[in-house]
Amino acid sequence: MTMQTELVNLSAVRREVKVKFSEDEVSKTFKKKTRQVNEQVSVQGFRPGKAPDSVIQGRYGSEIKNEVLQELMESGLKTAMVEHKVLPVGPVEPPAPAETQKLENGRAFDFSLRFEVRPEIKIDGYKGLKLVKPKVEVSDAEVDKEIERFRMTAAQLVPVMIRDFVEEKDYVTLDIEANTLAGPVPELTVKEELVEIGPDRVLPGFTEKLIGQKVGDLRSFDLVYPKEGPAAELHEKNINFRVVVKSIKKLELPAVDDELAKDAGYESVDAMKAALKNSLTVVQNMRVRNKLRDQVLDELIKKHDFEVPESLVREQSMNILREALRRLQSEGMRYDLDTADVEQLIGTYRPKAERIVRGGLLLAEVAKAETLDVSEEDVDKQIESFAEMSKQDVTRVRAAYADPQRKEALRLQLIDEKVLDMLIAAADVSDGEPLPVEERQLR
C-alpha cells in the first residue's frame, strides 16, 4: 500500500491520525514537486524545464521538501477523513518537528496529525423544560418617559435673562485654569467649556462649587482629583481651579402638544402615545422571547454534560472580540491592542463563548432529532427582511449573502431559531414578574 492511516481517540473531542507513506509514494511526490519547480524557475545553461533533477533539488531542496510535506499532509488527512468518517473542527495541528525532519526522498515517511471533532451528544429531556415567562405590561408612565426622551432631543439651550448667577441644572460656559504645586494642568485648562450644573462624572464637587457664582466673576477653589479619574498622573493630587463664568443657559423643553407629535412623525399626541405604547409592547415581547430562549439554553446545558472543542470556543471568543472592536470603531473610538491584550480579552470572553458553543451544539442535535431544517426560500425571505429593515436595496443585500459561508451561517442561525421556538412551544411555561425597568424601554 502506498499509504496507511490509523485513527486514535485522545479524548471525547480530540483525535490523532497516524499516517504512513511508502518510499515509492514519497519518491513520486518529490519527483512531481521537483518537476513543478523546474517549470517555474530559470537555470542558467538549461532550457526552461530541462534542468536535471539533481540541479533543481540542490538549489531548491528546502522549498521542494516543504511542498512535499504539505502535499503528503493534505493527502493523508483527506484519506483519513474518508476511511474513518471523521471531520475536523478548527485547525489541524501539524506534525512535530522531530517527525518532519525525517522526511527524505526515497524513504518511507510517517507522521501524526491532531485535531478536534464535534462531540457525540446523546440528546434527551429537551421537551417539557420548565420556563418562567416575564409579564408584558406597558404603563402610561412608561409612555410618558419615552415622550420625555423625545422632548430632550428637541430641547434647546436658551440664555437665562432674569438672573446672573448659577443655579442647579444650568448650562454654563466657563473659562477654567487648573494648577497643581508642580505647575499648570493642560488637560483640565479650557476656554469656553459648556458644563451642566449637576452630578459630576469626572470631578466630584466641581459644579457644586459654582452654584451662586455670577457671570464675569472669578472663583478659586481646590479639589482632590479622584483615584478613579482617567488621568492617572493626577490621581489623589490637590488641584487649584480658577473659574470664570462667561454665560448661563437653561434647557428649554417643547410642550407636549400636537405640534411636538407632528415633529415626531405622528398626527396628534393621542396617536403618538398609542404608537409608543405599541412599540414598547413589541420591544417587551421581543425581550421576553429572548429571555425564554436564554432559559432554554440554560436548561439544555444543565441537562447535558460533554467536552467542548477548545478550537470552537476560541473561535467564538474571537468573534465576540471582533464585534466589540467593531462597535468601538463605529463610535469613533481608537484602540491599540498587542498580542497580550488580545489573549487577555479572549480569556475574558471565554465563559460567554463556551456557553454559545455548548448551546449551538445542543440545538444542532435537537434539530437532527426532530428533523428540523429551513428551505432556500426561508433563507431568501430572511435576506429580504434584512433589506427592508436596513432600508437597503434587496439586490445589494443578496449580493452580500452570495458568499456560501455567510449564507450557510444564516441558514444555521434560522435553524437554531426554529429549534428554540419549538422548544419554547413544547415547554412547561409559568408566568413570572414583569421585566426590570431598564429592559422595558425602547433603547
Give mean pLDDT, residues 18-22: 96
Q: Grid coordinates representing 296?
A: 432554554
Cα–Cα distance measured from residue 109 to residue 70, given in angstroms and rounded to the nearest whole number: 13
Domain 3-116, CATH among 3.30.70.1050, 1.10.1760.20, 1.10.760.10, 3.40.50.970: 3.30.70.1050
Q: Which residues contact 363 (CB under 8 A, 6 or more apart)?
A: 297, 300, 415, 416, 419, 420
Cα–Cα distance measured from residue 364 to residue 373, given in angstroms and rounded to the nearest whole number: 10
- Strand partners of residue 222: 240
Q: Could you tell me the pTM of the whole model?
A: 0.77
Q: Read off the pLDDT band of 48 (50, 70, 90).
A: confident
Q: Read off the pLDDT band of 296 (50, 70, 90).
A: very high
Q: What pLDDT score does 391 carry?
A: 86
Cα–Cα distance measured from residue 8 to residue 114, given in angstroms and rounded to the nearest whole number: 9
Q: What residues does each domain of the chain span? A: 3-116, 130-138+261-439, 156-252
Q: Read off the pLDDT band of 231 (50, 70, 90).
A: confident
Q: What pLDDT score does 53 carry?
A: 87
Residue with cell 524557475: 41
**pLDDT (tens digit, 9 = 90+) per residue, 6-19?**
999 999 999 999 99
Cα–Cα distance measured from residue 265 to residue 276, given in angstroms and rounded to the nearest whole number: 12
Q: Which residue pairs, CB below 8 angstroms and at least 24 apart, start in 65-69? A: 65/103, 67/33, 67/36, 67/37, 68/26, 68/29, 68/30, 68/33, 68/103, 69/100, 69/103
Cα–Cα distance measured from residue 253 to residue 136, given in angstroms and rounded to the nearest whole number: 31
Q: Which residues contact 375 (CB under 8 A, 6 or more apart)?
A: none
Which runs of consecutive H residues, i.e. helices, occur in 154-268? 258-263
Q: What pLDDT score does 50 carry?
A: 87
Q: Read off the pLDDT band of 46 (50, 70, 90).
A: confident
State the CB neighbour count (10 A cutoff) for residue 192: 10
For residue 192, pLDDT over 70 is answered with yes
Q: Which CATH superfamily is domain 130-138+261-439 in?
A: Trigger factor, C-terminal domain (1.10.3120.10)
Q: Read off the pLDDT band of 1 (50, 70, 90).
A: low
Residue with cell 484519506: 79
Q: Grid coordinates representing 72?
A: 503528503
Q: Grid coordinates representing 83?
A: 476511511
**pLDDT (tens digit, 9 = 90+) per residue, 195-213?**
999 887 778 899 999 999 9
SS3 149: helix
**pLDDT (tens digit, 9 = 90+) per residue, 77-120?**
999 999 999 999 999 999 999 999 999 999 999 999 999 999 99
Average model confidence (pLDDT) across the chain: 93
**pLDDT (tens digit, 9 = 90+) per residue, 145-185?**
999 999 999 999 999 999 999 999 999 999 999 999 999 99
**pLDDT (tens digit, 9 = 90+) per residue, 409-428?**
999 999 999 999 999 999 99
**pLDDT (tens digit, 9 = 90+) per residue, 310-339?**
999 999 999 999 999 988 888 777 777 888
Give mean pLDDT, residues 273-283: 95
Cα–Cα distance measured from residue 19 to residue 73, given in angstroms and rounded to the nearest whole number: 8
Cα–Cα distance measured from residue 347 to residue 354, given in angstroms and rounded to the nearest whole number: 11
Helices and strands in the chain, H and E counts:
11, 12
Cα–Cα distance measured from residue 158 to residue 267, given in angstroms and rounded to the nearest whole number: 28
Cα–Cα distance measured from residue 376 to residue 278, given in angstroms and rounded to the nearest whole number: 33
Q: What pLDDT score does 328 carry?
A: 84
CATH annotation of 156-252: 3.10.50.40
